[in-house]
Structure 1
């Protein structure tokens, strides 16, 4: 099969787009489509300072690579969670992230959860009895708090993550099955800034995982291939498998599902604010100074305090 743009051999055939491209034109296509997504959803501008949440995986490193090639001012943040897995999952993820940042001469912030709080993520989850044996809920809480802390500390304007179309559609599918209205109304390629909270954007939200993986491979990006040990058997993985079966039968189904949701979202939730929030009241946590939805300490500070108290008993 030949490239649609030239006579060279095509390295990827994207059936949903009816488009086959060679290595050079595919890499260019990814960059051009990313820029179009940024502009379409008004994510950020070239004069803004962007913090990229990086995990050492293909999506976040590929996104960071694309943004720096497009000329945006970027810095990366890696959060070392202390996850072991096969070998040392967190340590290997950090190594690959640091390697990428050094090769590209990009600034990278490293936050070690155990060094900062006294406990790795699994221990925090254990002492707070959250996650049914998995630290995923606590992990999300810690990441959100840390990202906002670093972003404010180093004066970043926007936070971006490497969530791809498969991620977004799996979340949309799961929330629709359970009619999680609060989550559905908040799902968007961009979350606007609020008091003390940075705007968040997902420039890869319209790319299939297969496409971001192909970009990382063709761009020569070394990334951790092992999935997080705690993701095994997760609901999101099961939902992705179901969606993959549907996509195989109907190429483009995932993209259409996501785009049509975004198109009709405003009319579905027309009685709610644009951001999907009926309550804009935010308080300030007296311990860390970050915004919280209730008076008193935020969930993060309560979680860390509870961990330290139980650990020292």
Structure 2
């Protein structure tokens, strides 16, 4: 674990992304400690600008934007992580099963994956959310998780099929290892980079999709999340009346967590892909060579 952390710290993208994500996780876990009242409590007059007392201003209902942002971080991260776990679990199980067993099993699971892939995802989510009515954060996480696993399953299946033909897998089959050990011990550890990539990408997608659904009024308006903050700010015409802070706070939070997760995703890809590591080393060497050439040219001119 310590060695893995050192590898992440050495990679600038992974380190920066991990720092941002850890910050959000700490804020979510420490929400009761860093806020002093309920996020839905009216604490001041409507649309008060940022001040010393209320660092991010207040909403049209006189609620503290900072408190709502902190508690909204907990809700949005919970939805993103839960949906990401569901997507990754289903995609990994389907992909590994299809690749290992092949034949009719592969054809059946591949057909199901193709059906889910061709369905227009956002319209499907809008229809499901509208059919269910105003759904809470937990229901949104489950809906996204059950409709977004196909891409991860396709990638996992492709990678697992290449592993199945490796010599160490064939040797394990010859000595009679059980199926569960072949999948969990021999194949799964070699797919960790793909699984991490799938999980992080799913979390990013879920956070943005949840905010979209709630902004359109398909979420529970009584819950506190970044999406409901945008929904309430839009209903209050916050930008029109000059209360930009009510819209800016959740937008900035979504953008920053997206940047952090993307950097973490790129970092994981570079760490797990030797080719990308080599290209990075070549790029650094070329930059060093250019700098040395400039220094030599300056010395000659002097």
Report the TM-score when normalising by structure 2. Answer: 0.25
Bigger fraction of residues in strand: 1
Identify the structure with bigger relative contact order (alpha carbons < 8 Å, sequence gap 6+): 2
| Structure having the higher Rg | 2
Bigger fraction of residues in helix: 2
